[in-house]
Structure formats: structure tokens, C-alpha cells
């Protein structure tokens, strides 16, 4: 994880400085808290060579100092702390929808293999895989406003003030993003369930006259979960990417919309710190997924021992 984070820090540091547009010129026009561009560039430390800028920034990050926003002059950590709960709520709800939809639909499709429920569920999964989430999100906003005269609220309702209204506000973007994320889980769960159904121990359990539900849930599902859990780890990264779109469409002040704002404003400290946090989060989730194997598959515990 450490070498990966170091590589991410180098890449994001370079990319921000390759973007067209001079942040100092933009800030001088709007803020102008220095007499000249050169003085302003010197105050921000942007007159130093590239390697010195990177060394200073990385050293400060290692000390826990992520700097201040170039535009608002607020500490980066304070801004991230405000935006993080929104992104976490949207991401967790989306993943919950993805797991429920993908897992249940995959099992049902495998049980009714080559029958109409299987064909219908596979068709729905292909629709969610084919249609981009930003297009579905746009439809969810535009179509009800035209045909029903209703549109989702575009002003955040804090969970601490109105929990139910807050969940209702997040339900639509979470359902759209979760359905898109759950389609690969559904297809993988179905494929692995069909493979497990062909194993001898499942046939033996069926021949003993065990209840079909017990055969599916206890003997087949647990052994089919490992590839689906792996897909879930990959989908977590997709959930972060999708949250950028959903937060922008539905005006949710989370880390995704903050990422868009920091790129538009060329806010170097904010963007660099934000990408590092997102990269660390994705790696942490994948670590949790790897550790989950020990709970699902006893063979991994035996090999580790």
C-alpha cells in the first residue's frame, strides 16, 4: 500500500500541473491578495522547482499537514471532514443496493436457470451494464419533472436534522448507482452458483433429500461467494467514480463534487489530498475484501496456518 500511495502522489502532483490554465492568474483576477503575479506565486510556493514543491508537500503530508485550500484558505482536513459523511452515505447505500440486487438476483437466476426469471434478470442486468449512470441520473431528474411535475430535492437535508428526509433524498441516486454496480455482481453470482450446482457434494445433498433452500443457501451459496466478494472490492472503486457523477447531478456536497470543484479551480492542495484519501480508501477496502476470504473459505485459513 505504501509504494502505491507514493506512486499516486507523484502522478496526481504531475497531472495537476499539466492541466491548462494558470492557477495564480485565476486567483489574481478573483482574489488578488498580492501586488503582482510574481509575489502571489512566491507566497504560494509555486515559484520553486518542481521537485522542491513535491518534497515540501510530501514532507508536510507525512507530518499530518495537508495544507490549506488555495481559494478558501481553509484547512484541507477540515473541508474533507465536512464532505466525507455525504460521500460515505451515498457510497454505503449504493453498495447495499448493489449487494442486495446482485446477490439475490444472481441466486434466483441460477436457481431458475434457462427459465423466464433467469432470462428476465439477465436482461435487466445487461440494461444496467449498458446504460451509463450519468444518463440514468439525468433521466431520473428530467422525466419526472416533465411528466409528473416533480423533481428531487437539490438541497442537502442533514441526517442529524431530518433522518427520514435525508434517506429519501439519497435513495434515488443510491438506487441508480447501486443498480449499475450490482449488475456485474449479479452475473458473477449466477455463474458461480451454476458451477457449484454441478459439484458432487451439492448433488449428494440433493440426493439425501435436503430442503432445496438449505442446499442453495448453506452448501452452494457460501462456496460461490468468493468471486462475488472480489467483484465487490472492484465495484467499491467504481462507486467512488460514480459518486462524482451522482453528487454533481443531485447537488450533493460530498467529496465527489469537491473533486470537480478543485479541478475547476486548480486547487492543488485540495485535489492532491482528496485523491490520496480516495486511493487509501480503495486500498483499505480491497484489504478488507482479502481478509474476508478467511471468514468465507476455510481453505484459506488452513493454507495460512
Give the start-to-end residue ranges of the domains of the chain. 2-62, 88-304
Band of pLDDT at residue 301, cut at 50, 70 and 90? low
pLDDT above 70 (res 101): yes
Do residues 189 and 224 make contact, with C-beta atoms less than 8 angstroms apart? yes
8 A C-beta contact, residue 57 and residue 13: yes
Q: What is the mean pLDDT of residues 259-269?
A: 83
Return the pLDDT at 300.
62
Q: Domain 88-304 classified CATH 1.10.3720.10?
A: yes
Kindly state the average pLDDT of the residues 270-293. 85
pLDDT tens digits along 169-207: 899 899 999 998 999 999 988 998 888 888 887 788 778
Q: What is the pLDDT of residue 305?
A: 57
Cell readout for 136 is 440514468
Q: What are the backbone dihedrals phi and psi of residue 49, each rounded to the nearest 5 degrees, phi first?
A: -60, 160
* pTM of the entire predicted model: 0.81
Amino acid at each position: 500500500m505504501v509504494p502505491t500511495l507514493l506512486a499516486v502522489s507523484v502522478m496526481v502532483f504531475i497531472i495537476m500541473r499539466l492541466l491548462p490554465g494558470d492557477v495564480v492568474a485565476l486567483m489574481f483576477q478573483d482574489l488578488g491578495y498580492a501586488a503582482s503575479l510574481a509575489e502571489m506565486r512566491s507566497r504560494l510556493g509555486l515559484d520553486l522547482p518542481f521537485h522542491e514543491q513535491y518534497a515540501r508537500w510530501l514532507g508536510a503530508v507525512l507530518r499530518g499537514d495537508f495544507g490549506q485550500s488555495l481559494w478558501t484558505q481553509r484547512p484541507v482536513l477540515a473541508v474533507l471532514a465536512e464532505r466525507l459523511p455525504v460521500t460515505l452515505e451515498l457510497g454505503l447505500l449504493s453498495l447495499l443496493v448493489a449487494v442486495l440486487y446482485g446477490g439475490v438476483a444472481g441466486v434466483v437466476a441460477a436457481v431458475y436457470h434457462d427459465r423466464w426469471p433467469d432470462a428476465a434478470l439477465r436482461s435487466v442486468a445487461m440494461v444496467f451494464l449498458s446504460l451509463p449512470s450519468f444518463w440514468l441520473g439525468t433521466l431520473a431528474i428530467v422525466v419526472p419533472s416533465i411528466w409528473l411535475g416533480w423533481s428531487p430535492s437539490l438541497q442537502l437535508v442533514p441526517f442529524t436534522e431530518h433522518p427520514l428526509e435525508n434517506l429519501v433524498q439519497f435513495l434515488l441516486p443510491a438506487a441508480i448507482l447501486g443498480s449499475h454496480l450490482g449488475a456485474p455482481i449479479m452475473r458473477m453470482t449466477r455463474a458461480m452458483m451454476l458451477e457449484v450446482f454441478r459439484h458432487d457434494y451439492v448433488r449428494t445433498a440433493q440426493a439425501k433429500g435436503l430442503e432445496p433452500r438449505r442446499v442453495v443457501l448453506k452448501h452452494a451459496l457460501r462456496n460461490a461467494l468468493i468471486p462475488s466478494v472480489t467483484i465487490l472490492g472492484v465495484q467499491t472503486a467504481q462507486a467512488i467514480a460514480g459518486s462524482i457523477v451522482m453528487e454533481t447531478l443531485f447537488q450533493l456536497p460530498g467529496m465527489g463534487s469537491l473533486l470537480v470543484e478543485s479541478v475547476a479551480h486548480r486547487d492543488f492542495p485540495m485535489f492532491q489530498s482528496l485523491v490520496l484519501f480516495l486511493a487509501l480508501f480503495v486500498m483499505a477496502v480491497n484489504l478488507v475484501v482479502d481478509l474476508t476470504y478467511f471468514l468465507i473459505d476455510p481453505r484459506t485459513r488452513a493454507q495460512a496456518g
